[in-house]
Amino acid sequence: MYRYDEFDHALVRERVEEFSDQVARRASGALTEDEFKPLRLMNGVYLQLHAYMLRVAIPYGTFNSRQMRRLGHIARTYDKGYGHFTTRTNIQYNWPALTDLPAMLRDLAQVEMHAIQTSGNCIRNTTTDVFAGAADDEIEDPRPWCEIIRQWSTIHPEFSFLPRKFKIAVIGAEKDRAAIRTHDVGLQIVKGEDGGTAFRVFVGGGQGRLPHIAQEIASAVPAADLLAYLTAILRAWNLLGRRDNIHKARIKILVASVGLEAFREEVDKHYATLRHEDLRIPEDEAARIQAYFAPPAFETLPKTSGPFDRALLADPDFARFARNNVRRHRQAGYASVVVSLKPVGGVPGDITADQMDAVADLAERYSFDELRAAYEQNLVLPHVKLDEVPALWRALHDVGLATANADLATDVIACPGLDYCSLANARSIPVAQALSKRLADMDYQERLGPVRINMSGCINACGHHHVGHIGVLGVDRKGEEYYQITVGGSPDEQAALGDIVGKSLPADEVAPAIQRTLDRYLQIRADGERFIDTVRRVGPDPFRDAIYETLDATA
């Protein structure tokens, strides 16, 4: 994985010192909250319901055991002993004191981590396929390009005061495991006409109050011109985007209002100039970055593993884990293992400091010291020998991290909601927990197969409810929590926004209604159909009927 050079170290160190001074001036009263707010937001610090919140970047979700242990140390030393992984593959701490922030950031800097650009109107953490560099369907590892984007976008003077935040995701396979079409810009690595690396570019996606699925603006931008093309997009938006209305400032609104063709013309105008300037990525520089992401020293192994196969036969719980949480790997004899942060009744994305230490140890022992954070709020050990998956599973089991529900109905994405967030209208976590407990039967979940259920506590959609196969949005009805249900959303290469099925439900009706929806699917599915396939075939009506069949009084 990437290691800081002297420029990275200097930049992060200088930012820590600068922000430490700003914190000291705030604590002394020299800065008002209004003066401090834009400064803290540049450093990932929010003021939430109960405390300050620090959001720490995990660039493209890739980190190592030393960094994970440091995250655990921070949770233990400055917080309440846990952290929360987010849908941007970052980690949030919910309870830091203002005056501890400089020490936290210094501790992070020692392991090449920071909180820069995890909030504010700038280019946020670039996300990617959690199985990058491991998936067997990948054209090319997208992480070097994520790193190049990180270096280009970090404290970029032209893009530090954008109309709103800007999110980029990159994938290296046709299968979209990073929800790229829900991003301001989504990039898919393809082969260009000359056989070289190129990018299919989607623009204008986003969730929130006015959701849009991104549209294809370019089919194959040559890799060397990637930064020129991104700059052209950002520049076009920066010049034309609205700044008078926060709800209409995202690039999705601009693209929708002027139309894709007009926006493309604007981008091409800038690109025509920019691609001949010094933004071209030299081949040797791309190769230098790519070298950081060279595959680890895999052993030459047979495709199958005796210890793995014997464990499958010997232990039904392991077999279940293998069915649901173990993914194919490009290298024979290896697998990627999903570490679910969705235990029955747990808080989606939460992990204790002790669990962080345990996962760090396991990554070091079993996965070439590498860890991934998934936007679904889980972790992944990307490169595990099949022979060692049983031992890894037992170790995960010992620390409460072997829940075998990856991509199943209880693998719920949920934002912190009104339990923590000052923007939320309703709670998300208790609704997710109630659903998790209701659907806890693993046999039932496996009968259902993959289904993505996403929950947000407000229209800002941090819980990705628009693109959940089943989406749940918390709304406020005269001081009471209600929940709007959508069906048919999808975050992948067939990206779609869910249809609102009807009136919102009170909190305690959500889990039963979702179970009736899933039961209806079991009744009407055709052979081999996943939940989303059935929804696409029959539309939302049967599910609407199931949701409302026992309800007579809703808001």
Partner 1 sequence: MKIVTANRLSDGRVIYAGVDNQPVERIDQASVLDEATAEIVLAEVVGRPDVFVNPYAVEVEGHTPSGRDRLKEHIRSAGPTVGHSVAGGVG
Q: Which residues are at the interface with partner 1 (CB under 8 A)?
A: 26-27, 29, 32-33, 47-52, 76, 79-82, 94-95, 97-99, 347, 350, 352, 418-420, 427, 429-430, 433, 476, 478-481
49 versus 258: smaller Cβ distance to partner 1: 49
Q: Tokens 């009104």 sit at which residue?
A: 418
CB-wise, 206 or 346, nearer to partner 1? 346
Taking the least distance from each CB to partner 1, the nearer of 45 and 547 is 45
Handedness of CA 294, 151, 132, 67 (dihedral sign): positive
| Smallest gap from residue 112 Cβ to partner 1 (A) | 26
Tell the residue number behind the tokens 């996403």, with chain if given.
454
272 CB-contact burial (10 Å; exposed 0-12 / middle 13-18 / buried 19+): exposed
Report the nearest approach of partner 1 to the CB of residue 435 (Å): 13
Residues pairing with 54 in the sheet: 45, 93
d(CA 166, CA 235): 12
Q: Least distance in Å: CB of 106 to partner 1?
A: 19
- Could you tell me the smallest distance in angstroms from the CB atom of residue 394 to partner 1? 25
Cβ-count burial 430-460 (b if 16+ within 10 Å, e if not) = bbbbbbbebbbebebbeebbebbbbbbbbbe
Which lies closer to partner 1 via its Cβ, residue 98 or residue 256? 98
> Minimal distance in Å, beta carbon 347 to partner 1?
4
Length in residues, the chain:
555
Shortest approach of partner 1 to residue 190 CB, angstroms? 42
Compare residues 76 and 156 and give the one whose CB is closer to partner 1.
Answer: 76
User: Mind spelling out the 3-state secondary structure of 371-433?
Assistant: EEECCCCCEEEEEEEHHHHHHHHHHHHHCCCCCCCCCCCCCCEECCHHHCCCCCCCCCHHHHH
Residue with tokens 């669990």: 355
Query: Which of residues 232 and 439 has its CB atom nearest to partner 1 in the complex?
Result: 439
Would you say 62 or 94 has its CB closer to partner 1? 94
In contact, 72 and 353? CB cutoff 8 Å: yes
CB of residue 52 to partner 1, shortest distance in Å? 4
Smallest gap, in angstroms, from Cβ of residue 389 to partner 1?
Answer: 29
Tokens of 464: 């990705």
Nearest-approach distance from CB 97 to partner 1, in angstroms:
4
Q: Is 66 exposed, middle or buried (0-12, 13-18, 19+ CB in 10 A)?
A: middle
Nearer of residues 96 and 489 to partner 1, judged by Cβ? 96
Identify which of residues 303 and 478 has a Cβ nearer to partner 1 in the complex. Answer: 478
Task: Tell me how far apart the alpha carbons of residues 419 and 51 are, in angstroms, rounded to a whole number.
Answer: 12
Q: Which residues of 492-505 are buried (b: 16+ CB within 10 A; e: fewer)?
A: beebbbbbebeebb
**Calpha distance 392→362 (Å, rounded):** 7
Q: Taking the complex as a whole, how short is the minimal distance between the CB of residue 209 and partner 1, in angstroms?
A: 19
Cβ–Cβ < 8 Å for 140, 125: no
> In whole angstroms, what is the distance from residue 36 CA to residue 59 CA?
25
Name which of 76 and 106 has its Cβ closer to partner 1: 76
Minimum distance, C-beta of residue 432 to partner 1, in the bound complex (Å) = 9
Which CB atom, from 126 or from 433, has the smaller least distance to partner 1?
A: 433
Nearer Cβ to partner 1, position 127 or 378?
A: 378
For residues 389 and 408, what is the distance between their CA atoms, to the nearest angstrom? 20
Q: Residue ranges of the alpha helices (H) in 154-305?
A: 226-240, 251-258, 260-274, 283-292
Shortest distance, position 93 Cβ to partner 1, whole Å: 10
Instruction: Dig out the tokens for 511 from the structure.
Output: 């889990």
Pick 338 or 429: Cβ nearer partner 1: 429
- Rounded to whole angstroms, the Cα distance separating 209 from 353 reads 35
CB of 485 to partner 1, least distance (A): 20
Closer by beta carbon to partner 1, 174 or else 480: 480
Q: What is the DSSP letter of 258?
A: H
Phi and psi at residue 380, to the nearest 5°: -135, 135
Q: In what order do the strands lie in the sheet with 52-56?
A: 45-47, 52-56, 91-93, 82-85, 350-352
**Min dist. Cβ of residue 28 to partner 1 (A):** 8
Q: Which ranges of 403-525 would DSSP assign to H, the alpha helix?
A: 429-438, 442-448, 507-524
